[in-house]
Amino acid sequence: MVVVGKKNGKVRLTEDLRKLSKCFKIRIHPITNPREIISNIQPGNKYFSTFDTIKGYWQIS
């Protein structure tokens, strides 16, 4: 842990976690192309829904 002084006189505690980060496997979650999603909608489908999950992470309790 490293203590760094800020311009306003307060201190900030920081941590160098680069070594710890090397222990984790990187997972890639590709996002489907919107055109591909729309092309998969069948003409006879009656319902279609969308979800806006931009801030959804913060709603999990």
Q: What confidence score (pLDDT) does residue 61 get?
A: 60
Per-residue pLDDT of the chain (61 residues; tens, 9 = 90+): 889 999 999 999 999 999 999 999 988 888 888 899 888 888 888 888 877 777 777 766 6
Q: What confidence score (pLDDT) does residue 60 get?
A: 66
25, two tokens: 């496997």
Q: What confidence score (pLDDT) does residue 9 get?
A: 93
Q: What is the reported pTM? A: 0.35
- The DSSP line for the chain is -EEEE-TTS-EEEE---HHHHTTSPP---PPPPHHHHHHTS-TT---------TTGGGG--
The domain limits of the chain are 1-26
